[in-house]
Amino acid sequence: MRIRITFSKQGALRYTGHLDLHKLWERAARRAELPLAYSQGFHPQPKMSLAAALPLGFSSTCEVLDMRLERDFALDGLTEQLNETLPPGIRVTSIEQVDERAPALQTQVVEAEYQVELPEQADPSDLKRRIESALASESILRERRGKKYDLRPLIESLEAMDDKIVMLLAAREGATGRPEEVLDVLGIAFEETRIERTRLIFSPAKV
């Protein structure tokens, strides 16, 4: 049985890394007495996968985890049960059963939406001008890990709303837009902002 868990990640848990998050979910599943399926070999690992790794310091309202169980399990009341075992900052919002034969969760993500809370001193008119300039650019050359790439085609949409920026970025394997890179292009230090992932968009052909 394969189940899909949607959850939020807030507060101090924003600084929990990918591996620690897996361990956290394994403990929560055990406490909820879920029949977790494990891999074979000398170091069996629970068969769990996250849709897209969330950078340290980012919060989220839309994280998605696939978990495989050894047998069928009633999902009634499981959301509340898991929330009782999870630490503050992680909260399950929905659980559903998905097709065992569906592609790996990571391969289904195509876009991610982020909201960025801006510093109080941000100038709205200047910000609007910078956003328009970025969107009008044919290419925005950047460098990551010693390799150059074009950020512009990874920006699906970008707009300022009150004291926030909302951006929709490509999140495909090998073509992932990073919010901090977009902020750097706009001349905003991401350390002075608060970034939250608000939506993951999956390929309709593969869901």
Let me know whether 87 and 115 are in one domain.
no
In a domain? residue 86: yes
pLDDT confidence of residue 146:
86
> In which band, very low, low, confident or very high, does the pLDDT at 172 lie, cut at 50, 70 and 90?
confident
Query: Residue 5 has what pLDDT?
Result: 98
Looking at the structure, do residues 6 and 91 belong to the same domain, yes or no?
Answer: yes
Residue 207 lies in a domain: no
pLDDT at 102 over 80: yes
Whether the Cβ atoms of residue 8 and residue 93 lie closer than 8 Å to each other: yes
**H or E stretch including 37?**
none
- The tally of domains found in the chain comes to 2
Among 121, 108, 131, residue whose Cα is nearest residue 200: 108
Decide if 183 is inside a domain.
yes
Q: In terms of domains, do 77 and 135 share one?
A: no
pLDDT at 40 over 60: yes
User: Given a cut of 80, is residue 174 above it in pLDDT?
Assistant: no
What pTM does this model have?
0.92
Q: Would you say residue 147 has pLDDT above 60?
A: yes
Lowest average pLDDT, out of 19-23, 26-30, 121-125, 154-158, goes to: 121-125
**Rounded average pLDDT over 161-174:** 89
- 98 and 113 assigned to the same domain: no
Q: Which of 55, 77, 102 is the last residue of a domain?
A: 102
Q: Quick one: average pLDDT of 31-53?
A: 92
Of the listed ranges 118-122, 131-135, 155-159, 202-206, the one predicted with least confidence: 202-206
Residues 140 and 181 in one domain: yes
Sign of the torsion angle spanned by Cα atoms 52, 18, 90, 76: positive
Identify the domain containing residue 195 by its residue range. Answer: 108-202
Residues in the chain: 207
* Alpha-carbon span 16 to 57, nearest angstrom: 8
**What is the per-residue pLDDT for 207?**
40
Within this chain, do residues 69 and 132 fall inside the same structural domain, yes or no? no
Q: Where are the beta strands (DSSP E) in the chain?
A: 2-9, 48-50, 59-68, 90-98, 109-117, 141-144, 147-150, 155-161, 164-172, 175-176, 194-202
Q: Is 92 a member of any domain?
A: yes
% residues pLDDT > 90 (the chain) = 78
- In a domain? residue 129: yes
Return the pLDDT at 206: 42
